[in-house]
Amino acid sequence: MKLDWRLVMVLVVSLGLMVGCETDEEDPVVGTFSDLSTYMQDNGLDLPAQIASGWVKPASEVVDLDTYTIPGYTVLDIRQTADYNAGHIDGAIDASLGNILADAEANPAGANGYLIVCYSGQSAGHASMALRLMGYTSTVLKWGMSGWNSDFAGSWNNNAGHENGNNAAGHASWVTTAAPALQSYDYPDWESETTDGAALLVERIELALANGFQGVAGYGASGVLENLANYQIINFWGADDYLAFGHYDGAYQMQPISLAGDEVSAIDPDMVTALYCYTGQTSSTSTFWLNVLGYDVKSIEFGVNTLNYDGLYDADKPNWHGPEEYEYVVEG
């Protein structure tokens, strides 16, 4: 059969147009760790700046002893509603970790910003860091409601103190050897549909909040002693205390952790990283910051207060010293 040359030309031109269109299509624009890192450094959101001062205060520094309120702050209580109803600081607002951005938007900050209250000061670190990264002034109530009144002190009493806080004593996984040399790893590999720094930050904060509190599961600090190989472990102290009070065998000593100094490159994005400090409150705050960046970091709750309490106590390092006996209110 003889081909019609006009039909052939139409087919050739059509094919050329299709190939040309495919060639001209641009790859989709994606946001990455690098975009977020640059934005955070350019806007003063590196970790050292966020925990330099004022991010945590004990009840004794903020309470009005005449009214047992906390003037100057908008107090957001992120415990379960049932526990909030059973007793809370007068004036505190029933809030939650997952909705902390909406809670802040709905309740304007006081003159001193927000004060975040939880059970023990652990999850409050996550919520407070989320707000700080969004530009709010936010502070963690040190020790949480445990430090406000003995009626709420169970979590700290059960995990710290001379009887309950020396779980690492005599354990083979708790040593005083020199710190291993830091390694270098690739940055977390994730992508976003936006490269705009501000939008990217909000997206990553909301994702981290949706994942909830990131604490070491199971038996927490003691469980890590039995399962060292499951974690990359980071001690968030200076070198002197790292040696003086002991540490998990193989734990890296890192302070500071920052983007500007590139200490983050020593964190393995392909492992679960267990981060710990004296009380679990600094590590919680820092854990959330690292989660936003895409690292799989968990905070070791109660820190070395549950591992070597006596050592911290004798050296007058941050240690649980029991609750105040401040009044509180009950709903209903």
Token output for 34: 């690098």
Sign of torsion, CA 144 147 152 156?
positive
Sign of torsion, CA 121 123 126 128?
negative
Ranges of each domain in the chain: 33-157, 174-314
Model confidence, pTM: 0.92
Confidence of residue 26 (pLDDT cuts 50, 70, 90): low
Our CA dihedral for 309, 77, 52, 177, rounded to 10 degrees, sits at 30
CA nearest neighbour of 115 among 65, 163, 35, 61: 61
Taking only the tens place, the pLDDT of each residue in 41-100 is 999 999 999 999 999 999 999 999 999 999 999 999 999 999 999 999 999 999 999 999
Q: Under CATH, what is the fold of the domain 174-314?
A: Oxidized Rhodanese; domain 1 (3.40.250)
Lowest pLDDT segment from 4-8, 199-203, 251-255: 4-8
Answer whether 33-157 and 174-314 agree in fold: yes
Its CATH architecture, for the domain 33-157, is 3-Layer(aba) Sandwich (3.40)
pLDDT over 50 at 197, yes or no = yes
